[in-house]
Structure 1
Amino acid sequence: MAGSLLEQAEHLLERGIHPIRISDGFERACKVAVAHLDTISDTVEFSRENTVNLYKTAKTSLGSKIVSKCHDQYAQIAVDAVLQVADLERKDVDFELIKVDGKVGGSLADTVLVKGVVIDKDFSHPQMPREVKDAKIAILTCAFEPPKPKTKHKLDITSVEEYKKLQAYEKEKFTTMIKQVKDTGANLVICQWGFDDEANHLLMQNQLPSVRWVGGPEIELIAIATNGRIVPRFEDLSAAKLGKAGIVRELSFGTTKDRMLVIEECANTRAVTVFVRGGNKMIIDEAKRSLHDAICVVRNLVRDNRVVYGGGAAEIACSLAVSKAADEVSSVHQYAMRAFAEALEAIPLALAENSGLPPIETLAEVKSRQVTENNSRLGVDCLYKGTNDMKEQFVYDPLISKRQQILLATQLVKHILKIDDIIESHPE
């Protein structure tokens, strides 16, 4: 869109029109286009029970992505994830509660939505239980180790007795720490830092499953999901600060030894994790990006449930509206407005060309039909379904997204038009 606008601006500059006039004309045309979008938009009804329209819109955004072979599954995951965390009364979606994680292995079809948190860790001792039911979680950012002086120090041990004293001191400290955790009623420890083999062994002996080296963002997400408090010192631990979850279990993958920890049935039921699988890292990264797009589309509909129709239908309708408005302008701005209308047609032209259709003929036909039938839903039939009505093809775009695209493209071109000259320094 922005590239097409710059191309049109270049033609106008060659004809001697000042950049400021072009910029103002584009601004006026943009206002007409955005206002016209409101008039051609349709409202889509949805609820937590009836998600058909949300699903169709999410599906539109995934049509050209790498995950299109699992089209339906990913669209449903995006809808379910957003509705799980959405506050429909306030029309708000907290993206902090949606985590998208991935692991190499399996296929895209193995992607699942977990109503809880998935972290790439396992229990710290192989003999600890693989599952903890009715978990009361102590979330710690302090290390399981004896306190050390803050200054640089050195400890010289010259005899066996001194070494045994140090060992007894460390064991006593570890035992005290474990007792402080057990006294609160916790039956699972999640720690941001590591602990050595002795602490790990004592935790296992005291039947206190634990997870170590959990990253900061994951710690925060676990605290949000389980309604727990992050505790920086053992002395601050109390029963009220524990996070609660129905079940914490290890998830293993096929024949590999990879394991991940899944925290489900959390106290804050709104936290979800989308766990993406794929054959290699590139596929997973692309799937995550595609899912993010679909989630944003559904989020936009929760914020404002108005849609316009894709396939270039909205752009053609706006182009016609801008051309009509340009005829009523007596100043030189009318040239810039007509150029803006022509730039809008770049979208349906590109769609027709990419679909193997003759671009000019297709655009001319759809444009004349929009005028004669007064139907702004007509676009380019990219899928060869025999109808140009995008409502029948279920090709939807959220109004928020379409409006933002036109506004951003116009702003970008206005900024570039403000540049008078570029001074390039030569290598010599």
Structure 2
Amino acid sequence: MQAPVVVLNTQSGERQFGRKAQISNITAAKTVADIIRSCLGPKAMLKMLLDPMGGIVLTNDGHAILREIEVSHPAAKSMIELSRTQDEEVGDGTTTVIILAGEILAQALPQLERNIHPVVIISAFKRALSDAISIIEEISEPVNINDDKAMYTLISSSIGTKFVARWSELMCNLALKAVRTVMFDQDTGRREVDVKRYARIEKIPGGEIEDSKVLDGVMLNKDITHPKMRRHIENPRVILLDCPLEYKKGESQTNIEVSKEEDWNRILQIEEEQVKQMCDAIIALKPDLVITEKGVSDLAQHFLLKHNITALRRVRKTDNNRIARAVGATIVNDVRSLQPSDVGTSCGLFDIEKIGDEYFTFLTKCKDPKACTILLRGPSKDILNEIERNLHDAMGVARNVVFHPRLCPGGGATEMCVSVGLERRAKAVEGVAQWPYRAVAEAMEVIPRTLIQNAGASPIRILTQLRAKHAAFWDSKEEQNGATNGDAAVSSAWGIDGDKGAVVDMHTYGVWEPMAVKLQSIKTAVESACLLLRVDDIVAAKQAKQAGGPIGGGGEEE
């Protein structure tokens, strides 16, 4: 196999190769977008994914699908990375961003065929992006994050397209309660909502989905270390440790030769004294419960049991951090440095229950928990996994609104409004840049069109109706004839009913999305399209070890 040669001349042959690379990238991006295009909206189709171990995943979550797919084309890989970025940043809109990016690149292809230079296309795309952002900010509406009804409407629009739509109210309740629990106003005035670290989802197969709940505290899949320790403690004093309650052997004296029996007894005595010293430091603070991330020796259990102290060992670090937030304790690295202020006292109940075949520890009834566990019940593991994915999206939406309390109309209304708005503004763009600017406007229509197609309706007729509604809205804005944004005839909130594929006003239909998700989707899609258009050569690196030759090249090529 010959190593690829990069041609650095500027003859027509090399330019043709550059064009080939761009077309190849666009085709790969379109292919990825086509895979998950049918996963948008409430009538979305499911994908069945088979993993190498023979297990199956059934889902219509764009991010979950792309995470499982294996691709070799670098452009396709970067598209899959987009959905991961979107999921990390805002937790929702992963399908939208891929479809948008694929369509923007597809619309760039005719511009390349017109021999418009990629740099001109990119600058037009960037201009269209800044105009799109200003349009979205203009049509967004404020929301009161303390109004439960408004928040429920918002979260239900995120999970209305998912498997859990049947238990919409329950899931909205779980997501909202979890986000409000972990919401934390810092001294600096910033608000912290770390759902990933402090709201853990625990899935226990069995029971009804309706039995799922948000605990006002933390749950662990742990049992006590000694059978005689207490399993039920009200208002426990909790100490959290990050050190073992075991005899620590000296690092250099690994081998000890014992010739007399007294020496052996002395060794055991030293071990006992060291463990007793550790336990005494803990007992001095009169705790009811000791939780450590490391081990607890039998001897330490004996000393703790004598003073009626319950111990849990080998708790995960992430769980320990959640317990610390929930019960108001500080995790201590050395028992000798324990202070009375390190003891957590805000937990109301410590209880161990057996669910199915396993024991679970509950630390609940916390006074002001800044961490929580969402307990999910359901008939099977697969269903629980899908519910967890959907709940992650719902919590992402609730979290975004807490940070940016503004909403945009859903159902493709925002995209259509941006599309028609950009079409109007394109007249002011001079020169050939007008073509790629219009291309972004056309690409925005892909979201409402896909919603109509997935609902099984006629895209051309309904898109024309929708375009006319938004054209009327922009006409009224241009004329400034006193018509308001909320006026039904000229509202910017006309979108698609994903179930029937008809044109509806989102003010009455009630599908809204956080502005943060919309902005992130469009920014990510346009930026990634610009990035892929900049690529004019794909070069595979030579393998480090050629067949029969030494490492570092120099060997004969096949």
Q: Find the partner of 2:121 among 5, 8, 22.
A: 22
Distance verdict in 2 for CA 1:414–1:135, change over 3 Å? same
Query: Alignment partner for residue 247 of structure 1, among 344, 349, 356?
Result: 349
Which segment is superposed worse, 173-182 or 290-299?
A: 173-182
1:281 Cα deviation (Å)? 4.1
TM (norm. structure 2) is 0.71
- What letter corresponds to residue 201 of structure 1 in structure 2? H
Matches within 5 A, 1:131-210: 131-158=232-259, 160-210=261-311
Q: Does 2:161 match 1:64? A: yes
Residue 101 (structure 1) aligned with residue 201 (structure 2): yes
The CA distance in 2 between the partners of 1:406 and 1:263, in whole Å, is 43
Q: Does 1:51 align with 2:151?
A: no
Letter of the structure 2 residue corresponding to residue 30 of structure 1: L
For the Cα contact (< 8 Å) 1:93–1:299, is it kept in 2?
no
1:407 maps to 523
Q: Distance in 2 between matches of 1:133 and 1:187?
A: 9
Amino acid at match of 1:246: G
Structure 1 residue 268 displacement after superposition: 4.2
Equivalents in 2 of 1:183, 1:130: separation in Å?
Answer: 22
TM-score when normalising by structure 1: 0.92
Secondary structure in 1 matching 2:348: strand
| Most deviating of 76-85 and 157-166 | 157-166
For 2:553, the equivalent position in structure 1 comes to none
What letter corresponds to residue 247 of structure 1 in structure 2?
Answer: L
Range with greater deviation from structure 2 (359-368 or 99-108): 99-108
* Residue ranges of structure 1 left out of the alignment (5+ in a row): none
CA distance in structure 1 between the partners assigned to 2:260 and 2:236 by the alignment: 45
Identity %: 29
Whether 1:236 aligns to 2:337 is yes
Provide the aligned C-alpha RMSD in A. 2.3
Partner of 2:402: 302
Q: Does 1:350 align with 2:350?
A: no
Tell me how far apart the structure 1 counterparts of residues 115 and 240 of structure 2 sit (CA, whole Å): 68
Considering Cα pairs closer than 8 Å and 6+ residues apart, tell me whether 1 or 2 has the greater RCO: 1
CA contact (8 A) 1:379 1:389 kept: yes
Q: Does residue 261 of structure 1 match 2:361?
A: yes
Q: Is the 8 A contact 2:451 2:496 kept in 1?
A: yes
Choose 99-108 or 83-92, whichever is displaced more. 83-92
Which segment is superposed worse, 4-13 or 162-171? 162-171
Matching residue within 412, 420, 427 for 1:320: 420
Report the Cα distance in structure 2 between the residues aligned to 1:105 and 1:139, rounded to whole angstroms: 29
Match of 1:40 in 2: 139
Tell me which amino acid in the other structure corresponds to 2:309. L
- The CA deviation at 1:351 is 0.5
Task: Give how far 1:175 is off.
Answer: 3.2
Q: Does 1:80 align with 2:177?
A: yes
What is the CA deviation profile of residues 254-280 of structure 1, one whole-angstrom value per residue up to 9, with x for unaligned ones? xx2312212123354332221223444
- Cα pair 1:81 1:98 within 8 Å, conserved: no
Give the corresponding residue for 2:77: none
| 8 A Cα contact 1:44 1:305, kept in partner | yes
Q: 1:196 offset after TM fit, Å?
A: 2.8
CA distance in 1 between counterparts of 2:358 and 2:252 reads 40
Classify the secondary structure of the residue corresponding to 1:384. Answer: coil
3-state SS of 1:388 partner: strand
- Measured after TM superposition, the shift of residue 376 of structure 1 is 1.3
Judged with a 3 Å threshold, the aligned counterparts in structure 2 of structure 1 residues 301 and 425 are, in CA distance, closer, same or farther, namely: closer
How many matched pairs? 424
SS at match of 1:184: coil
Partner of 2:461: 361
Residue aligning to 2:514:
398
Kindly indicate whether residue 525 of structure 2 is the aligned counterpart of residue 422 of structure 1. Answer: no
- Shift of the 28–149 alpha-carbon distance from structure 1 to 2, 3 Å rule, reads same
Specify the code of the residue in structure 2 equivalent to 1:195: V
The amino acid that maps onto 1:210 is A
Moved more, 228-237 or 322-331: 228-237
Residue equivalent to 2:312: 211
Q: Which amino acid aligns with 1:170?
A: E
Q: Distance in 2 between matches of 1:81 and 1:99?
A: 6
SS at match of 1:323: helix
Unaligned runs of 5+ in 2: 1-99, 473-488, 543-556
Q: What's the CA shift for 1:3?
A: 0.1
Partner of 1:10: 109
Q: State the secondary structure of the residue aligned to 1:379.
A: strand
Report the alpha carbon displacement of residue 240 of structure 1 after superposing the two structures with TM. Answer: 1.8
Give me the whole-angstrom Cα distance separating, in 2, the residues matched to 1:307 and 1:53: 10
Q: Is the 8 A contact 1:363 1:380 kept in 2?
A: no
